[in-house]
Amino acid sequence: MLTIENLSHTYPNGTKALSGVNLDIPRGMYGLLGPNGAGKSTLMRIVATLQTPSEGEVHFGNLDVLKDPDALRRRLGYLPQDFGVYPRVSAYDMLDHMAVLKGISARSERKAVVETLLEQTNLWAVRGKSIAGFSGGMRQRFGIAQALIGDPDLIIVDEPTAGLDPEERNRFLNLLAGIGDEKVVILSTHIVDDVDDLCPQMSVLANGQVQLEGKPADLIAETRGRVWKTTVDHDQVDAVREQHEVISTRLFAGKTIVHVLSDTQPAGYEPVQGGLEDVYFATLADVRRAA
């Protein structure tokens, strides 16, 4: 289990990215949802030992991550939001080089590791191709391949499906789902469907704080009775905003479906059965109201 206690971080320019974050992240897929600027990448960089927090502690099992970062790095696989590689190097040669950096010195062992990862990520057919020629989805699959070198116990992927087309997104999510339940896998994203599809446990981070955490199904159940919908003409949306807390709008057949947050049912609205997207938007609406 990954344990994060009272974690806070303020950048030198005064920007407070995290404030008193506490999380217990078990084995399996864990979703960290939040809008851009919520502090997700800062949190992931701290856990990945690339940044030192202003305050707080991080433990992975019995390991004190902040006191012994090298020990965690030997057990860590990390795919950052901006994953850069040498573009003119082939996928095979780049993975081989990264395996050396991970401490796999024996050529035969590296060969077995690299070939297995290329097969696992469906990149074997393009193993000799320059990474510069890869599509966005292929680069992300290569990114997860390098993150899996050394069979890590903790895997962090930061905004992995942003910008991918639907086919590549599904391929990448299927790849993540197959990593296994015996590892801690953190999926940090602002895309609700990614968490809904994969993660049995999740939390929402906004304004540098944990606003909500739990099982998606339980959180969806708790939101029922607070989210309502109606259908209006597009030019009526502003009037609805003046009367209610609008959490989402969606165009459908020339009309606008509006979801609002209210503890009582507004006249002319019907209840929403709810989904994780409503949970997420309702949480952000609560944060805005409290600000």
Q: What is the pLDDT of residues 176-211, one digit of tens each?
A: 888 877 889 999 988 898 898 889 999 999 999 999
Place of tokens 């030997």: 74
202 lies in the same domain as 242: no
**3-state SS assignment for residue 91:** helix
Q: Indicate the number of domains in the chain.
A: 2
> DSSP state, 84?
-
Tell me which residues of the chain have a pLDDT lower than 70.
83-86, 291
pLDDT of residue 101: 85
203 lies in the same domain as 260: no
pLDDT of residue 85: 65
72 lies in the same domain as 171: yes
Alpha-carbon distance 178 to 39, whole Å?
Answer: 28
260 lies in the same domain as 143: no
245 lies in the same domain as 136: no
Q: What residue type is 135 in one-letter code?
A: S
Q: Of 194, 215, 236, which marks where a domain is finished?
A: 215
Alpha-carbon distance 123 to 90, whole Å?
Answer: 11
81 lies in the same domain as 196: yes
Alpha-carbon distance 18 to 246, whole Å?
Answer: 27
Strand (E) positions, 72-208? 76-79, 154-158, 184-189, 201-206
Q: Of 195, 215, 235, which marks where a domain is finished?
A: 215
Contacts 24+ apart (CB under 8 A), 93-102: 94/131, 94/142, 94/146, 95/142, 95/145, 95/146, 95/149, 98/146, 98/149, 99/149, 99/150, 102/149, 102/150
52 lies in the same domain as 172: yes
pLDDT of residue 229: 92
Cβ-proximal residues to 281 (8 Å cutoff; 6+ apart), any chain: 247, 248, 259, 261
Length of the chain: 291
Strand (E) positions, 41-182? 55-60, 63-64, 76-79, 154-158
179 lies in the same domain as 246: no
- CB-based burial of residue 280 (10 Å sphere; 0-12 exposed, 13-18 middle, 19+ buried)? buried
- pTM, rounded to two decimals: 0.87
CATH number at residue 279: 3.30.70
pLDDT of residue 165: 82
Contact present, 155 and 30 (Cβ < 8 Å): no
168 lies in the same domain as 182: yes
Q: What is the pLDDT of residues 256-267, one digit of tens each?
A: 999 998 889 998
Contact present, 173 and 157 (Cβ < 8 Å): no
pLDDT of residue 21: 96
Residue 279 φ then ψ, to 5°: -60, -45
Residue 194 sits in which domain range? 2-215
96 lies in the same domain as 234: no
- CB-based burial of residue 88 (10 Å sphere; 0-12 exposed, 13-18 middle, 19+ buried)? exposed
95 lies in the same domain as 124: yes
Q: Of 191, 215, 239, which marks where a domain is finished?
A: 215
Alpha-carbon distance 159 to 176, whole Å?
Answer: 13
89 lies in the same domain as 153: yes
